[in-house]
Structure 1
Amino acid sequence: MKLLKKSTLATLVGAAALTAAGAANATIVVGGENGYEFSVDGNINQFFIASDQNNAGGGQDNQQVANGLLPTFFGFNVAMPEINGLKVAARVSISPSTNNGSYVNGNNAMEQREAYATVDGSFGQIMLGKGLGLYSANNILLDQTLYGVGATGQTAAGNQNTGTTSLGRIGWGYDYANWRSQIRYTTPDMNGFKAAVAVVDGEGLLGTVGDDSEKDPRYEASLSYATAFDGGSMKLWLDGMTQKIKYSTAAGSERSDAYTVGGQLIFGGIEAVASYYDSKGQGIGGLGLGAADANGKAVDGDGYYAQLGYRFAGQTFVAASYGESTLDRGNTEDIDTNSMTTIGIYHDVTANLKLVAEYSKMETEYHSSATSDADVDVLSVGGFISW
């Protein structure tokens, strides 16, 4: 057996086919030089998170020790030798939470986010299985809170808690790409341009837990352009999705559509990201909350985020970002606007150890006079060990 070191793709999020990043892992070539490879990768991340909520009815302080936006990942990768111009590979990962209650049945603390195979050739790539969706993937993968905490979730009692993971900027500037069962085709690189289309297992009766209603497939697509120049690089993207959905309060079905457009610019140590999205029937953050009004009609939403940072000596990334997610008025208690400002420092001590300090200011405005607006300060300190 031969042990090699190589750079892998953003293993921390398990998006191995989507984005290049610098986590290092060990690859074992099984059976000598026969071309088969097996590798493992992953991370453990942990944060001390302190939140302070204020609204007209008072507020609550909450402190916890938990993972951030990312759960723990442990990934297994297999790559086969190229035969007749085809290269076949597969990835399966598990992503448990480090949070309390992870051993309790029924709380989804042990997640199965990835299980897919890829076939690469001169025609491009075919992906079969479960992985990160196309719509809004670039938004989350380039967000600074990916390696932090960002927004926390509000419980029924009103206190802030991360649950299995925190929210990052999901619902506070973009929709969630989510991990979806899919059949996907991606074109080869065409002078920087790439396109991808996917048929995805979609939602059924949105708004009902455990529904067994009929559902149509979800269709997603992405078009991107990437180029490098002296001293920097640029990436632009346009993603979209569409699906016919029946909402829990609707007599018939509604069409849910969304698109997002964005870009990233790196020049010297400066890194800037900006994106905008527009949706119908996706709700806040693409998670279904407020997706339909009281009559079962799909509710419109939109949002954006802008991020600016500087990477010192390639090791310390200091960044600030602001984002908003807004829904048109639907049900009486639907969220009207979520906005969040985040400032963070992300320092790579080594290739396998990242330290993070992050502060976020969350603000929520409700259109109903019966619900008071709220703001939450979230301070988190922690980091990642990756392999």
Structure 2
Amino acid sequence: MKLLKKSTLATLVGAAALTAAGAANATIVVGGENGYEFSVDGNINQFFIASDQDSASASANRDQDNQQVANGLLPTFFGFNVAMPEINGLKVAARVSISPSTNNGSYVNSDAAMEQREAFATVDGSFGQIMLGKGLGLYSANNILLDQTLYGVGATGLTAAGDQNTGQTSLGRIGYGYEYANWRSQIRYTTPDMNGFKAAVAVMDSDDFLTAKVVNSSTTSNQFEKDARYEASLSYATAFDGGSMKLWLDGMTQDVRYSNATGSEKSDAYTVGGQLVFGGIEAVAAYYDSKGQGVNGLGTGAFTADNKAREGDGYYAQLGYRFGGQTFVAASYGKSTLDRDSANTVAGGVADLDTNSMTTIGIYHDVTANLKLVAEYSKIETEYHIQSSDDEVDVLSLGGFISW
């Protein structure tokens, strides 16, 4: 077999993640002469992260400075791709990736050691594409893939002790302007390109927010019904002299049961957004509205103490300029809010938050197609229902990516 070097927009996080980077990767490809190809791609990223947290809380644990050496919003990726020749108008391909963390504890804590985010196959033809397996969801995918913090750190997570820590990865802008798209087991259909328009629908494995079910006023563990999750996306993309534009509308729905809730609550959400590229200017804006998703789309604060789904919404806006095609300087602001009324009380703590907001300024410089350097600053503000426990965090991160 012949070993080839092929220039491609190979992605760090599945199809299209590098679209925002604007730089080509080098993917090692084996084969190709008889129509079969095997290729690998991936990245290792590492950052020095310094955070300064000020809190109105009485707890001294939440007024502190922290320094870390860790990966950012993306873990490391190592992807394996197989492409088969077209037969009877069908092209079959598959991708499996592994996502280990570079962070401390990853070798002793199985939850932080490695994620398996992608394992899917695709069948392409004149009808469009069918995708089977685990990959990035449709809802909110464009929001995260076009966010500048995808190649940075953004927000760090708040541990139970109250300190800032990235865990396996940082949060980026998840919960600070949009909800997480997440990596989901799914069966998806995507239409062919129709003069710039594309639609996709998928049935997915739903979120496991529930740990117990109430039956005849008694709580029983590990006995609950589970419904599928449904997602859909409609997008339009076009290119013109000197630039391009993309618009999207995504949505999701599923039934959820949370902790000891009787019956179920409907979780629904949609997001609408757009990207404009003109010359060196790149602008992104997106808005979302949801119910029963929590502040981040992962269930945090999704329900009240009386088991009612909380409604939320949020937005982010980003403006940047790409100098010489290699240096991207950008600033963004985003906000996520959970609504409540006088009856909607929760137990307190992280689940009691009302509003997250974050301002980010960053410089992302492609030294080569395989080396990206990043300097990023974020100011994070969190307001809780208990107003005396509001938090402010400043996060400075310096690091970058080595990709192939």
2:93 to 84, 89, 94: 89
Q: In the alignment, which residue of structure 2 is the partner of 1:135?
A: 139
Alpha-carbon separation, structure 1, partners of 2:48 and 2:112? 22
Counterpart residue type for residue 26 of structure 1: T
2:400 to 359, 362, 383: 383
Counterpart residue type for residue 383 of structure 2: E
Counterpart residue type for residue 383 of structure 1: G
Counterpart residue type for residue 360 of structure 1: S
Counterpart residue type for residue 396 of structure 2: L
Contact 1:361 1:378 in 2 (8 A): yes
Q: Calculate the TM-score normalised by the size of structure 2.
A: 0.92
Contact 2:26 2:369 in 1 (8 A): no
Counterpart residue type for residue 222 of structure 1: S
> Percent identity at matched positions?
82
Whether 1:354 and 2:372 are equivalent positions in the alignment is yes
Whether 1:5 and 2:28 are equivalent positions in the alignment is no
Please report how far the alpha carbon of residue 64 of structure 1 lies from its aligned counterpart in structure 2 after TM superposition: 0.6
Q: In the alignment, which residue of structure 2 is the partner of 1:196?
A: 200
Q: In the alignment, which residue of structure 2 is the partner of 1:234?
A: 245
Alpha-carbon separation, structure 2, partners of 1:10 and 1:65? 27
Q: In the alignment, which residue of structure 2 is the partner of 1:302?
A: 313
Alpha-carbon separation, structure 1, partners of 2:233 and 2:180? 15
Whether 1:343 and 2:354 are equivalent positions in the alignment is no
Q: Structure 1: 5+ residue runs without aligned partners?
A: none
Whether 1:40 and 2:40 are equivalent positions in the alignment is yes
Alpha-carbon separation, structure 2, partners of 1:4 and 1:153? 41
Aligned partner of residue 154 in structure 2, secondary structure: coil
Alpha-carbon separation, structure 1, partners of 2:172 and 2:208? 26
Alpha-carbon separation, structure 2, partners of 1:53 and 1:214? 41
Q: In the alignment, which residue of structure 2 is the partner of 1:26?
A: 27
Contact 1:274 1:305 in 2 (8 A): yes
Q: Structure 2: 5+ residue runs without aligned partners?
A: 213-220
Alpha-carbon separation, structure 2, partners of 1:132 and 1:34? 31
Aligned partner of residue 146 in structure 1, secondary structure: helix
Q: Residues 47 and 205 of structure 1: is their aligned pair in 2 closer, same or farther, counting only changes over 3 Å?
A: closer
Q: In the alignment, which residue of structure 1 is the partner of 2:68?
A: 64
* Greater displacement, 20-29 / 310-319: 20-29
Counterpart residue type for residue 23 of structure 2: G
Correspondence 1:155-194 to 2 at 5 A? 155-194=159-198
Aligned partner of residue 283 in structure 1, secondary structure: coil
Please report how far the alpha carbon of residue 211 of structure 1 lies from its aligned counterpart in structure 2 after TM superposition: 5.4
Counterpart residue type for residue 362 of structure 1: I
Alpha-carbon separation, structure 2, partners of 1:54 and 1:292? 27
Alpha-carbon separation, structure 2, partners of 1:306 and 1:211? 42
Contact 2:6 2:29 in 1 (8 A): no
Aligned partner of residue 247 in structure 1, secondary structure: coil
Q: Calculate the TM-score normalised by the size of structure 1.
A: 0.96
Aligned pair count?
Answer: 383
Alpha-carbon separation, structure 2, partners of 1:146 and 1:358? 11
1:100 to 99, 104, 115: 104
Whether 1:368 and 2:386 are equivalent positions in the alignment is yes
Contact 1:27 1:37 in 2 (8 A): no
Alpha-carbon separation, structure 1, partners of 2:16 and 2:127? 16
Counterpart residue type for residue 53 of structure 2: Q
Please report how far the alpha carbon of residue 213 of structure 1 lies from its aligned counterpart in structure 2 after TM superposition: 2.6
Please report how far the alpha carbon of residue 227 of structure 1 lies from its aligned counterpart in structure 2 after TM superposition: 0.3
Please report how far the alpha carbon of residue 105 of structure 1 lies from its aligned counterpart in structure 2 after TM superposition: 3.8
* Greater displacement, 56-65 / 376-385: 56-65
Counterpart residue type for residue 85 of structure 1: G
Correspondence 1:200-211 to 2 at 5 A? 200-206=204-210
Contact 2:47 2:69 in 1 (8 A): yes
